[in-house]
Amino acid sequence: MMRDNKRQQFRFCATDLPALRSWQRGLRKTLRETLGIQSISSRCHTTPQTEQLEAVTLDDHIREDWRIESEPGIVIPFYLLRPLGPPKIRPLVITPHGHSRNHRHTYAGAIPNDPEVIDGERDIARQAVREGYITIAPQARAFSDNRSDKNQKNNSVSSCAEWQHRSSMFGRTLIGERVWDMMKLIDFALANEMVDPQHIMLTGNSGGGTTSLFTAAIDERVTSAAPSCYFCTFADSIGAMEHCACNYIPGILNLAEMSDIAGLIAPRPLLIVAGLHDPIFPIHAVRSSFKKLKDIYTLAGAPDKCQLYIGKGGHRYYKKPVWSFAKELFNSTTLTNINK
């Protein structure tokens, strides 16, 4: 049943550019509805309230602690990292996190001797700001202060299952809510920071890769993405083994496979990062899914803008290819193969 692609309404089968664009419009609209983004949008009619709590000056950047009320009653903490030096227009990088106990604090490099940084290069926001980019490290819904009272008392990593169950009662999904939060952060950055709207990138690992991929698929203001250790097939990853409840979208396999979702990003630059020995997003399925994605980019006239990097380790972040990709992208309109 998981592999019955004939049932998928938006399985990619376009043969020319007009058909591709029509397919993207249809799938994007339906995906917005399926994720619950249309439902969220219908209750959000004002500019989100924001508040800065503190600012810390470090050796090469300023780290500000902010809050944004992305929808009524939902407050999302985030770090804003800004390089030191004269003000100038810079690329924007947003780094959503995955299932981590220290979440945005790890990504911002705010935890001394953090084993997640040492073992998995997960200080992704700090890496980005050191490359010279304005960077936002948000906290995902269902983590930290957004956990249930029970989960906070038990010191559970997240309350993803509870959030997902509650959201589903309103025709929403936790992935959709996290995508919405990213969209509001883009609004905030464009309105308040000296960011280049032609250079907006998302990158994160695991659950952060999920948010990066879906946000880029939905919001065309995202000009590039580098999801790490997520892209695969639904059938061989979350459909084949137990994953956190936040991964599941009711009805998604009636619509499309993951390569189709990623195909909504075409022809914008996309770097898929994977681990050779990742046990929960199997590499054979990553490769087969990427082959289908490459077909979409080829039809879009941009085969060179879709790349796959396979690290030699497991389920972790691989920073070198990401920042090589970003540096060349932000300084040139032509991409070379990051594997060379």
CA torsion, ordered 232, 234, 239, 243, to nearest 10 deg? 60
Residue 336 forms part of a structural domain: no
Residue 76 forms part of a structural domain: yes
Residue 336 has pLDDT above 80, yes or no: no
pLDDT digits (tens, 9 = 90+) for 296-317: 999 999 999 999 999 999 999 9
Task: Classify strands 134-138 and 74-83 as parallel, antiparallel or unpaired.
Answer: antiparallel
Q: How far apart are CA 165 and CA 23, in angstroms?
A: 31
Residue 339 forms part of a structural domain: no
Residue 2 has pLDDT above 60, yes or no: no
Residue 334 has pLDDT above 50, yes or no: no
| CATH code assigned at 198 | 3.40.50.1820
Bridge partners (DSSP) of residue 134 are 92
pLDDT of residue 142: 84
User: What DSSP character marks residue 313?
Assistant: S
Average pLDDT over residues 19-41: 97
Q: Please give the residue that has the higher pLDDT: either 260 or 4.
A: 260
pLDDT of residue 30: 98
Residue 163 forms part of a structural domain: yes
Which burial class, exposed, middle or buried, applies to 207 when counting CB atoms under 10 A from its CB (0-12, 13-18, 19+)?
A: buried
Q: What is the pTM of this model?
A: 0.93
Q: Which domain, by its residues, includes 94?
A: 5-331
Residue 205 forms part of a structural domain: yes
Residue 121 forms part of a structural domain: yes
Task: Classify strands 74-83 and 195-205 as parallel, antiparallel or unpaired.
Answer: unpaired
Sign for the pseudo-dihedral over CA of 327, 330, 334, 339: positive
pLDDT digits (tens, 9 = 90+) for 90-149: 999 999 998 877 788 889 988 877 776 777 788 999 999 999 999 999 999 987 666 655
pLDDT of residue 79: 97
pLDDT of residue 337: 52
Q: Which of 35-49, 197-211, 268-282 bottoms out in mean pLDDT, i.e. has the lowest?
A: 35-49
Residue 340 forms part of a structural domain: no
Sheet holding 50-57, edge to edge: 50-57, 61-71, 74-83, 134-138, 90-94, 195-205, 224-228, 270-275, 306-311
Domain count, the chain: 1
pLDDT digits (tens, 9 = 90+) for 54-88: 999 999 999 999 999 999 999 999 999 999 999 99
Q: How far apart are CA 53 and CA 61, in angstroms?
A: 17
Residue 301 forms part of a structural domain: yes
Q: How high does pLDDT run on average in the chain?
A: 91
pLDDT digits (tens, 9 = 90+) for 146-192: 665 556 556 555 688 888 898 899 999 999 999 999 999 999 999 99
